[in-house]
Amino acid sequence: MPQAHSYYCDGEWVDSDSGETFAVRNPANPDDVVAEFPKVTVEETERAIEAAVDAQEAWASTPGPERGAVLRRAAALLDERSEAVTETLTREEGKALPEARGEVGRAVDILYYYAEKARDLGGDVKASSSAETTLRTSVEPLGTVGLITPWNYPIAIPTWKLAPALAAGNTVVLKPASMAPTVARELTDCLAEAGLPDGVLNVLTGSGSVVGSTITEHEDVDAVSFTGSSSVGSQVGETAAATGKRVQLEMGGKNPTAVMPSADPAEAARIVADGAFGVTGQACTATSRAIVHTDVYDEFVDALVEEAESKELGPGLDGYGMGPQVSADERESTLDYVEVGESEGATLETGGGVPAEPRHETGHYVEPTVFSDVDSEMRIAQEEIFGPVVGVIPVGSFEEAVDVANDTEFGLAASVVTDSLGEAERFGDRVDAGVIKVNEKTTGLELHVPFGGMKASSSETYREQGDAGLDFYTTTKTRYINY
């Protein structure tokens, strides 16, 4: 029997009045029900928001080092349980064990990082133009914040929103994604056992149209941070802004890697394959376009096909390096884009179908897919696919590569593979993306530097992670004291 979970409100796990539940299924074996969670109602969401509001003043007045100590204890608890949480993450989301293990470790590191940052939130002293005036700033929390998080990084993304919010003294209402909420429950247990006061964190499961909309519209929620699709993010942003909330949106991407003539084609293909097929292509920073100079184009395509065909697909818990997509709908969407690419005239070099080994019969698997002869105007070069599909676009110059890289509505991550320092620097200057990499895959982020996109990839309001991650959750007062 799958474990039946409750939702978390005011320090307690509570059964929903609705009596309705939803099942979380293993993408590698959909008959395996990992857990069941309640569909929380509007009224229950409102009670959770009220609990957060009631707890906020006391939490905000708790000294920063004490708030940090709670995060530090939670990090230690999560670290102790990391292998069990890793297996749960793989079972409910589908990614390979090393990928899941890295994600859990990332969550641990984020908690430790913001535990120390909580000591530094006092403000600054500035020199006044008056000899009789002290001039200083103080940093204060916004109040109660709503966090809406996706399924593809179901513990890392909630943690990188939660940790700075809590470190700064805010209370939180969190809605994790319904396809992978179990690890958010594990994170919540660690924070509760670490001494987080009742009401400071509330975790609600259910539909976006009920829970997410209530959080976004509620007058007592001071800010909303959302990560997910561009279509949903735009709706969240409009609704939250209409009620005067501070808004942070991180959304889709159509991330390019440009490969220049000085690059080693085999090494460039490895970089692109890691970015395109890691986490089954289900990352907003995944490489989906390889923009390749004609001088190395044919060699690159051959090497990328070899990389794609070397991937071993199967259940993450059985040790395979690439898992299934998270759901049947996600797989069908990817397969639909394969048909679109073929209909548009791109050449399907490899993949594009469902693997046929016995271990693939029950899961939502898609073969790593490479298209060549892709034109920048094609849908597969413009629209986010969110699966293991990469299109290779030929270009004749560095300048054309930059133009093609910028030729989408998105601007999240971009990379260039080159031995030319000048090309590397010019690429960073001219490409419209929030994350620029040189001789690296587009995926993978350091936790202590800002992360966010441009154009339709982001609200372009506040960055996440690092010191910038605290800016969204705080406001500043300037104090003039004439003595």
User: For this structure, is 80 an active site residue?
Assistant: no
Residue 203, both tokens: 């975790």
Q: Do 295 and 396 lie in a common domain?
A: yes
Produce one character per residue of 12-29: b if its CB has 16 or more CB atoms within 10 Å, e if not. eebebeeeebbebbbbbb
Residue 409: what residue type? E
Whether residues 302 and 387 share a domain: the answer is yes
Residues 65 and 176 in one domain: yes
CA 23 from centroid of its chain's CA atoms: 23
CATH number of the domain enclosing 140? 3.40.605.10
Instruction: State both tokens at 177.
Output: 């994604």
Is residue 17 domain-shared with residue 88, that is, in the same domain? yes
What CATH number is associated with residue 431? 3.40.309.10
Query: Do 42 and 166 belong together in one domain?
Result: yes
Amino acid at 224: V
Evaluate whether residue 464 is within a structural domain: yes
Residue 449 lies in a domain: no
Answer yes or no: is 448 within a domain. Answer: no
Q: Kindly state whether residues 15 and 111 are assigned to the same domain.
A: yes
Of 250, 330, 349, 367, the active-site residue reads 250
91/67 same-domain check: yes
For residues 396 and 276, membership in a common domain is answered with: yes
Q: Is residue 444 situated within a structural domain?
A: no
Q: Tell me, yes or no, whether 428 lies in a domain.
A: yes
pTM of the model: 0.95
Residues of the domain holding 330:
255-438
The tens place of each residue's pLDDT in the chain, 483 residues long, gives 678 899 999 999 999 999 999 999 999 999 999 999 999 999 999 999 999 999 999 999 999 999 999 999 999 999 999 999 999 999 999 999 999 999 999 999 999 999 999 998 988 999 999 999 999 999 999 999 999 999 999 999 999 999 999 999 999 999 999 999 999 999 999 999 999 999 999 999 999 999 999 999 999 999 999 999 988 999 999 999 899 999 999 999 999 999 999 999 999 999 999 999 999 999 999 999 999 999 999 999 999 999 999 999 999 999 999 999 999 999 999 999 999 999 999 999 999 999 999 999 999 999 999 999 999 999 999 999 999 999 999 999 999 999 999 999 999 999 999 999 999 999 999 999 999 999 999 999 999 999 999 999 999 999 999 999 999 999 999 999 998
The answer as to whether 446 is a domain residue is no
Q: 450 in a domain, yes or no?
A: no
* 197 lies in the same domain as 278: no
One-character DSSP codes across 8-60: EETTEEE--TT--EEEEEETTEEEEEEEEEE---HHHHHHHHHHHHHHHHHHH
Number of domains in the chain: 2
24 token code pair: 């979380």
